[in-house]
Amino acid sequence: MHYIEVGKENTATIDLHYQDYGTGKPVVLLHGWPLSEASWDAQIPVLLSSGYRVIAYGRRGFGESSKPAEGYNYDTFAEDLHKVITKLDLKDITLVGFSMGTGEVARYISTYGSERIERAVFIAGILPALVKAENNPDGTEKRIFDDMIRKCIEDRPGFMHKFLEDFYSHGIVGRKAVSDEMIRYSWTLAMQASGMATVKCIDSWGEDFRDDIRKIDIPSLVIHGSGDKITPLNVCGRRLKDMLPGCEYLEIDGGPHGLLASHAEEVNAALVKFLSLAPKRPYSQSEMRH
């Protein structure tokens, strides 16, 4: 078992459980809510066979990582990522975020810069701003997230079963289905998280990442499904693409939120292709707009 200490809470250390496989340029995988690093099972073997070193870790509160009461905000998540990167002394990194993990990618680059980061990948992301506000009229109503919090507190196991059906667009005619076993497996991963982490992370989705995105100065890939019921395409994927001039973009027709499992072949092919592209010099977004 591999752990990296990222802090302390009272007398206990806060440790992130991680897996570190292979050799080559490092690819760091940041999982989505409410799962863990185990949700990258379909991607890790393909990345390894393509010659990359793969590091996947559990966010605080999830999987086999420590489950403190505090720290469920994007500044802390980015700080945790920074400690993983520096303690493993990683360089020439590709950061790959899925769902809420995309916020960590953006906040990390915004806060710590891209000196160690070569590329960034955003899959089914929550960027640029998920919650509806006066300056974000296309977002999702906050009451939706408040209702999620209420249901998690009242009956987290029951809520998660229904949420994961939406996560994979399960049972929708004409959509590529995952098995019932995949939903049960995802439910098991979700139940490994602490109740506090599960609820507090929902609040973190209110973060507005538009200023962070403007500081991204490295080649990027955006992947989003047109059938995403959790982070809708028009609210997230297409808007993020427009904010990252020059990015690679893949829109998966009918793809649900849970693309890592439902459309693993398409996601994996896009990842490997993007990683194989010749490195570009860092660019500023102002340059790309002219």
Backbone angles phi, psi at 200, to 5 degrees: -65, -30
Annotate 148-177 with three-state secondary structure: HHHHHHHHHHHHHHHHHHHHCCCCCCCCCC
Which candidate in 17, 31, 170, 257 is catalytic? Answer: 257
Query: What Cα–Cα distance (Å) separates residue 22 from each residue in 180, 201, 278?
Result: 32, 31, 21
Residue ranges of alpha helices (H) inside 65-193 are: 74-87, 101-112, 142-167, 180-192
- Smallest Cα–Cα separation from 40: which of 28, 52, 31? 31
Tokens coding 164 = 């994961």
Any catalytic annotation for residue 99?
Answer: yes
What gap in Å lies between CA 200 and CA 149, rounded to an integer? 8
What gap in Å lies between CA 98 and CA 263, rounded to an integer? 13
Which candidate in 39, 99, 114, 186 is catalytic? Answer: 99
Active-site amino acid positions: 99, 228, 257
